[in-house]
Each structure stands twice: as C-alpha cells, then as structure tokens.
C-alpha cells in the first residue's frame, strides 16, 4: 500500500490540508494524526472493518481495545453511557490528555472494544486532531501509531519508521507536546474511579474532581500469573527497545558509579542532563534535567527508540520517582524494563 504523507501547520491546520485525510477516514481507511500526547492510528470507530485494519497495521492483538476520539465531550452521548462524574471530568480536563472508560452503546462494534461492554472515550486538545474530527464528523478509533510493543511515536519520523506502507495516510504535525499517552480512568461509581494508566492528568489532579480515586495495582506492579487486568493493554509488553533495559534505583552517587561501570562493559545509558557530564558521551542518551519531569516525558519514547541505533548489548536508565507526573514515567519505564530493577547501593 502506498502511504500518502501530508504536512500541516500544527498550530493552525487548514481545512484544505486535512480534507483528503478526512475523506480517507470516511471511506473506511486508516490515517495517522498527531495529538497532544502521541501520534494516533485512526479509523472510523463505527465500522468493524476499519478497526480490523488498525489491528492489522499495528500487529496488535484484537482483544486489546481502542480509544474512541471525539471532537466535543458531549459527543460521547452517542457511543457511551455518561453521567455527572464524566461531565465533571470533562469540564476540568477536556479537551486534553484524559481518557474515560464508560459503558458502551451499540453504535460502537465489539471489534473496536476488544469484545468488552465498555468503551474508552477521549477528546484530544491538538488543533490537527480536533480539526480532523470535526471534518469527518465521526468518532475516530485510534491507538498509538506504533507497531505493537514498540515505544509510542512522538513525531512523524517514528510513525514512518513503523507504519509506512501499512496505513493509507500519515499527517505530519511536528512533535507531540507531552510525549506520553493520555491518563486513563474507569468510572466505577457516582463519585469513584480507578486510575488505569497515569499520564499528564495526575492522581492529585483527579482527586480534586473525584472523591474516591484508586490507583490500579497494575500501574506499578507486575501482573500476577493468570491475572486479567481491567486495562487489557497492561498485559502486553510495551515501550521496549530492542535491547534489554534495566532500571537503576538508589542514591545519585551510586547510580552514576554504576552507569560508568556498565558503560565500560558496552552498555547504553539513558540519563539526566547533569549525570551525562560524568559519563562517556558516545553511549549516553539524555532526557532532560533530573527535576524536569515534563522534559523527560517529552523525550522518553524518542530516547527508547534511539537506543536501537546505538551499539551496545543492553540499556540502563534511572528508576523514576512515583510522585506527580513521575508516576507516568515510572509506569512506562517499568514496563519497558519488564520490571527489572537494580539498587547498586544494596549490592
Ligand atoms: O494518548 C493516548 O491515549 C493515545 C492517543 C493516540 O490518543 N492513544 C493510546 O491508545 O495510547 P492505545 O491503544 O495505545 O492505548 C489505549 C489503552 C490500551 O492499553 C487499552 O487496553 C486500554 O487503553 N483500553 C481501551 N479501551 C478500554 C476499555 N474499554 N477498558 C479498559 N481498557 C481499555
Ligand atoms: Mg499504545
């Protein structure tokens, strides 16, 4: 398949530039588009065949449900059973990087929800995503636009690397703002929800809007054998570079000494800007200052991809804190590392 590449102004995309992409979506094709979190691989969420094309292009297991993207929070009415808490969340966080799981209506086929009777709804804030949704007038199912298991794409080059010739169209709208995927919550009662995937909308921010916020055990911990997670995606390996990744905890001094030793043995190190000054430059990838979590989020997935092009058999990175937005970085890295963590202070 030949993939059409469209370049648009990310701040102010013209309707003309996006018209062809909108037509492709309406005709049941697949279009990759930028969002404020990561790039999404879109298809008409009301058609099973479009969902099947998405699963095929990504190589994704079909029991792993897709998020439905909508232009306005109230558009959810046609596809899901909403409620007061949904609209409270919408008032605070939409459009923006929050996905809400609600009971599904029949307008969304089971192929899209991986057979579940719930549906994930998100109203993105990116001007390109919003304009495209308005032009199509459709709910657009869109997982992250990476080959299943790889880090999510934060720029068009990552998408082309994974999906060129596998989708009908790719819209290049520059770099994604946040760099990690949306926060996912499931509404479980009138004033209660479960946080299934942490993101830019933090646990603390959710607590300001909802009385009872529980963090799913799978956000931090490994799934137990035969456990069925609420969020099917958390049972699959994700975000991983081609080489094994190990996270390093403990004191800063011990971590740097440990990184330096592993570098001598040929490892690649993903570290903070200030740590890089104490390491050999060739096999180091920096992701921002140690206290700049936003910069780290923005760079993380690109760094995990860069590892693949450097020589070295394995990769080491800092174990993030779980505070605030740190929980999102922790969740992505602990999964990329398949929960492998070392503490050099204790060796
Ligand atoms: O920021 C984002 O959310 C990006 C952009 C493109 O919007 N999308 C994204 O989609 O990250 P994806 O498919 O890569 O991740 C969605 C996650 C998966 O782990 C899936 O299992 C979970 O959401 N999910 C979707 N629908 C669900 C449902 N009904 N119940 C539980 N989990 C669900
Ligand atoms: Mg994904």
pLDDT grade for 193, boundaries at 50, 70 and 90? very high
Ligand number with the minimum distance to the CA of 147: 2
| Mean pLDDT of the region 324-345 | 96
Instruction: Determine the pLDDT at residue 198.
Output: 98
CA separation, residue 61 to residues 19, 49, 115, 124, 339 (Å): 31, 15, 12, 24, 22
Alpha carbon distance 339, 245 (integer Å): 9
* pLDDT value of residue 27: 98
CA of 103 to the centre of ligand 2 (A): 21
Which protein residues touch ligand 1 with a CB less than 6 Å away? 35, 37-38, 40, 64-67, 99, 101, 113, 116, 118-120, 122, 142-144, 181-182, 184, 230-233
pLDDT at residue 194 is higher than 90 = yes
pLDDT tens for each residue of 94-127: 999 999 999 999 999 999 999 999 999 999 999 9
Please say if the pLDDT value at position 237 is more than 90: no
> What SS3 class is residue 292?
coil
pLDDT at 225 over 90: no
Report the alpha-carbon distance of residue 78 to residue 72 in Å, rounded: 12
Q: Is the confidence at residue 235, as pLDDT, over 80?
A: no
DSSP state of 222: P
pLDDT surpassing 80 at residue 347? no
Interatomic CA distance for residues 27 and 4, integer angstroms: 15
**Is the link from the previous residue into 20 a cis peptide, with omega within 30 of 0?**
no
Check residues 282 and 347 and name the one with the higher pLDDT: 282
| Separation of CA 146 and ligand 2 centre (Å) | 7
In this prediction, residue 239 carries a pLDDT of: 85
Q: Which pLDDT belongs to residue 224?
A: 84
Residues 6+ apart with CB under 8 A from 309: none
Above 80 in pLDDT, residue 185? yes
Give me the mean pLDDT over the 329-346 stretch.
95
Q: With 0-12 CB in 10 A as exposed, 13-18 as middle and 19+ as buried, what is 265?
A: exposed
| 178-201 mean pLDDT | 98
Per-residue confidence at 231, pLDDT binned at 50, 70, 90?
confident
Classify the C-alpha dihedral 276-346-334-180 as positive or negative.
negative
pLDDT over 80 (residue 236):
no
Which pLDDT tens digit goes with each residue over 55-79?
A: 999 999 999 999 999 999 999 999 9
- Whether 150 has a pLDDT exceeding 80, the answer reads yes
Atom of ligand 1 nearest to the CA of 230: 31
Report residue 234's pLDDT band, with 50, 70 and 90 as the boundaries.
confident
Question: pLDDT digits over 135-144, tens only?
Answer: 999 999 999 9
Output the six-digit token pair for 104.
Answer: 């599904």
Write down the mean pLDDT value for the chain: 96
Residue with the smallest CA separation from ligand 1 atom 6 is: 40
Residue among 122, 147, 134 at smallest CA distance from 67: 122
Task: Find all residues with CB under 8 Å of 231, minimum gap 6, and list them.
Answer: 184, 186, 196, 197, 216, 218
pLDDT in tens, 10-58: 999 999 989 999 999 999 999 999 999 999 999 999 999 999 999 999 9
Q: How many CA atoms are closer than 13 Å to the CA of 245, on its beta-carbon side?
A: 28
Each residue's pLDDT tens digit, 247-273: 999 999 999 999 999 999 999 999 999
Q: How far apart are CA 7 and CA 173, in angstroms?
A: 6
Ligand 1 binding pocket mutation candidate from 128, 182, 184 (most atoms within 8 A of CB) = 184
Q: What is the H or E stretch that residue 341 is in?
A: strand 341-342
CA distance 242 to 122: 31
DSSP 340: -
Query: Does the pLDDT value for residue 325 go beyond 90?
Result: yes
The ligand that comes nearest to the alpha carbon of residue 150 is: 2
């Amino acid at each position: 398949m030949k993939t059409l590449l469209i370049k648009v102004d990310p701040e102010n995309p013209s309707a003309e530039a996006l018209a062809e992409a909108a037509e492709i979506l309406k005709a049941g094709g697949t279009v990759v588009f930028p969002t404020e979190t990561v790039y999404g691989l879109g298809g008409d969420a009301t058609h099973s065949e479009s969902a099947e094309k998405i699963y095929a292009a990504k190589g994704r297991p079909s029991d792993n449900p897709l998020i439905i993207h909508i232009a306005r929070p109230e558009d959810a009415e046609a596809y899901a059973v909403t409620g007061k808490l949904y609209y409270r969340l919408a008032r605070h966080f939409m459009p923006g990087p929050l996905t809400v799981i609600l009971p599904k209506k029949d307008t969304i086929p089971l192929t899209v929800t991986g057979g579940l009777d719930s549906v994930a709804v998100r109203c993105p804030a990116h001007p390109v995503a919003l304009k495209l949704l308005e032009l199509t007038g459709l709910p657009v199912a869109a997982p992250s636009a990476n080959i299943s298991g790889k880090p999510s794409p934060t720029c068009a080059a990552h998408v082309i690397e994974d999906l060129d010739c596998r989708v009908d169209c790719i819209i290049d709208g520059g770099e994604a703002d946040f760099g990690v995927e949306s926060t996912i919550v499931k509404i479980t009662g009138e004033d209660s929800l479960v946080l299934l995937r942490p993101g830019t909308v933090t646990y603390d921010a959710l607590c300001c809007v909802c009385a009872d916020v529980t963090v799913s055990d799978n956000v931090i911990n490994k799934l137990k054998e035969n456990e069925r997670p609420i969020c099917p995606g958390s049972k699959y390996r994700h975000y991983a570079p081609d080489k094994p990744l190990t996270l390093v905890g403990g004191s800063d001094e011990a971590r740097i000494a440990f990184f330096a030793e592993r570098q001598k043995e040929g490892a690649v190190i993903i570290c903070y800007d200030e740590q890089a000054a104490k390491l050999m430059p060739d096999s180091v990838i920096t992701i921002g200052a140690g206290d700049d979590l936003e910069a780290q989020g923005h760079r993380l997935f690109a760094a995990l991809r860069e590892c693949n092009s450097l020589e070295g058999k394995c990769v080491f990175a800092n174990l993030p804190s779980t505070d605030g937005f740190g929980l999102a970085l922790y969740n992505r890295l602990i999964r990329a590392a398949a929960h492998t963590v070392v503490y050099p202070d204790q060796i």
